[in-house]
């Protein structure tokens, strides 16, 4: 992408009221703009990151045999009355009447929709177990949206639902999702923990939350110094730092996290209400067991920034950066040689499969460096007459203090190595 043909609207100052780091940086980098309280518009730069997160989530869902579907946000009251949540969900459920005066809502989650569909689609034990997911907009009419993208009223979520003949099958699929989530957050390049958690308004028995670890997180976690043990302190309200870990390994210490994923064993609480049955091998109808599995896709973008930033701006993990490489020319508008070298490199790197940002603006070097650092591009190449004379390209990683010189004809292999 050439910056001269792109919408790169960076700002030096944070808009008033943006207190959270990720909120400030997303605004300053030109990733998002506010439309109303808890409602955000995604600019091209921000959407690139969102799409990369979606892509990783989609890959791992597909890898465990979960099937992608798409359900509507606008839903009739009937299914919510059937589950009982029309009245119990609370004011977060945004209700309205359509032109025919029918009670309608914007869906905050999709247990009702999927269960009402699958009771018709699934008829036999032979079809089980099976799981479906979607990546779609959810609406929750939050009392107080806050912290930019971290708590919004409208957000992108990956929600998945599994169907089973029995609890043992549910447990097996739950474990598969647990493993898939671990892979996803590892691939995203984030430091995270899976925590035992409360099931909240979704209901069900067993549940785990996946948290991105950062001091700015809303949730307080107790983790073991010696093992993977981690729990939301709401489940262990009397715990103190230094107490023995409940799993017997090490002692507890406190940390904070941003919840970016939550998996539940729902059991039959929804399938029972919707009378979602299949026939067993013996020809008898049996209520299906269900699991549900959520990931806050848009929240991950903000959580990643909370975890990965410095005084100059965002420091993207390589897997979700909007651009892999930025090319910054020195004095290109006076040197045809620099211009040709940049063009050639831009073409070659793009052909090699990299997302390349070529800063072809007629800007001072300082401006281009500052923008590249603010928007967090991991790999920076500086092309100038000096380097061309010596047949080298100046390379710098966003996280490193010093730059290094790479022979011009080795630069593509060098960058490929960074991604292997």
Partner RNA sequence: CGGGGUAUAGCGCAGUUUGGUAGCGCGCUUGCAUGGGGUGUAAGAGGUCGUCGGUUCAACUCCGGCUACCCCGACCA
Give the binding-site size for RNA (rule: CB under 7 A): 61
Task: Report the candidate in 199, 217, 200 with the shortest Cα–Cα distance to residue 208.
Answer: 199
| Binding region for RNA (CB under 7 A) out of 123-131, 247-255, 351-359, 364-372 | 364-372
What are 209's strand-pairing partners?
Answer: 195, 262
User: Angle between the 411-418 and 336-351 helix axes, to the nearest 10 degrees?
Assistant: 40
299 part of the interface to RNA, by CB under 7 A = yes
- Residue 25 vs residues 122, 165, 301, 411: alpha-carbon distances, Å: 46, 47, 11, 30
CB-based contact 297:261 (threshold 8 Å): no
d(CA 24, CA 15): 7
| Binding region for RNA (CB under 7 A) out of 11-19, 186-194, 283-291, 407-415 | 11-19
Task: Report the candidate in 164, 116, 167, 131 with the shortest Cα–Cα distance to residue 280.
Answer: 164
d(CA 262, CA 4): 41
Among 1, 21, 23, 135, binds RNA (CB under 7 A): 23
Among 82, 142, 166, 355, binds RNA (CB under 7 A): 142
370 part of the interface to RNA, by CB under 7 A = yes
Phi, psi at 9, each rounded to 5°: -115, 75
| Binding region for RNA (CB under 7 A) out of 54-62, 99-107, 174-182, 198-206 | 198-206
| Binding region for RNA (CB under 7 A) out of 43-51, 150-158, 281-289, 316-324 | 150-158
Sign of the alpha-carbon torsion through 199, 221, 175, 160: positive
**Three-state DSSP string of 105-170:** EECCCCHHHHHHHHHHHCCEHHHCCEEEEEEEEEECCCCCCECHHHECCEEEEEEEEEEECCHHHH
DSSP conformational letter for 217: -
173 part of the interface to RNA, by CB under 7 A = no
Q: Pick between residue 226 and residue 410 the one whose CB is nearest to RNA.
A: 410
Query: What would the x/- binding string for RNA be over residues 224 to 263, using CB under 7 A?
Result: -----------------------------------x--x-
d(CA 86, CA 390): 71
Query: What would the x/- binding string for RNA be over residues 203 to 222, using CB under 7 A?
Result: ------x--------x----
Q: Pick between residue 23 and residue 379 the one whose CB is nearest to RNA.
A: 23
Query: What would the x/- binding string for RNA be over residues 32 to 71, using CB under 7 A?
Result: --x-xxx---------------------------------
Among 309, 369, 398, 406, binds RNA (CB under 7 A): 369
d(CA 1, CA 20): 29
Q: Pick between residue 127 and residue 408 the one whose CB is nearest to RNA.
A: 408
Among 394, 397, 408, 412, binds RNA (CB under 7 A): 394
For the bound state, the minimum distance from the C-beta of residue 16 to RNA, rounded and expressed in Å, comes to 4
Which residue ranges make up the site for RNA (CB under 7 A)? 10-20, 23, 34, 36-38, 92, 140, 142-147, 151-153, 155, 200-202, 209, 218, 259, 262, 294, 296, 299, 312, 330-331, 333-334, 362-367, 369-371, 373-374, 382, 384, 386-387, 394, 396, 403
């Amino acid at each position: 992408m050439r910056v001269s043909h792109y919408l790169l609207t960076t700002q030096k100052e944070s808009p008033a009221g943006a207190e959270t780091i990720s909120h400030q940086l997303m605004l300053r980098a030109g990733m998002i703009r506010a439309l109303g309280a808890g409602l955000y518009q995604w600019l091209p730069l921000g959407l690139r990151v969102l799409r990369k997160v979606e892509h990783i989530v989609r890959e791992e869902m597909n890898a465990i045999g979960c099937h992608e579907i798409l359900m509507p946000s606008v839903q009739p009251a009937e299914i919510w009355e059937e589950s009982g949540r029309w009245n119990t969900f609370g004011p977060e459920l945004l209700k309205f009447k359509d032109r025919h005066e029918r009670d309608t809502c914007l869906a905050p989650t999709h247990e009702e929709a999927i269960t009402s569909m699958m009771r018709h689609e699934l008829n036999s034990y032979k079809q089980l177990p099976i799981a479906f997911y979607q990546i779609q907009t959810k609406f929750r009419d939050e009392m107080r949206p806050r912290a930019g993208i971290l708590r919004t009223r409208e957000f992108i979520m990956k929600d998945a639902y599994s169907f089973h003949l029995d609890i043992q099958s549910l447990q097996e699929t739950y474990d598969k999702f647990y493993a898939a989530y671990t892979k996803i957050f590892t691939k995203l390049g984030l430091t995270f923990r899976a925590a035992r958690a409360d099931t909240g308004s979704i209901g069900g028995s067993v549940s785990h939350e996946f948290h991105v670890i950062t001091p700015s997180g809303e949730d307080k976690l107790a983790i073991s110094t010696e093992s993977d043990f981690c729990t939301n302190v709401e489940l262990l309200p009397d715990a103190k730092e230094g107490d023995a870990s409940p799993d017997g390994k090490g002692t507890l210490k406190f940390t904070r996290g941003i919840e970016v994923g939550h998996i539940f064993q729902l059991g039959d609480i929804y399938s029972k209400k919707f009378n979602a049955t299949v026939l067993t091998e013996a020809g008898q109808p049996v209520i299906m067991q269900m699991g549900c599995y959520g990931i806050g896709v848009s929240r991950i973008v903000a959580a990643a920034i909370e975890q990965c930033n410095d005084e100059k701006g965002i420091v993207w993990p390589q897997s979700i950066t909007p651009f892999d490489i930025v090319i910054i020319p020195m004095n290109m508008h006076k040197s045809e040689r620099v211009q040709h070298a940049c063009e050639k490199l831009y073409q070659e790197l793009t052909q090699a499969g990299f997302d390349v940002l070529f800063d072809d603006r007629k800007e001072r070097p300082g401006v281009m460096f500052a923008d590249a650092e603010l928007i967090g591009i991991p790999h920076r190449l500086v092309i100038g007459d000096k380097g061309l004379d010596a047949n080298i390209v100046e390379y710098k990683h966003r996280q490193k203090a010093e730059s290094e010189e790479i022979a011009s004809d080795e630069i593509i292999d060098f960058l490929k190595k960074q991604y292997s």
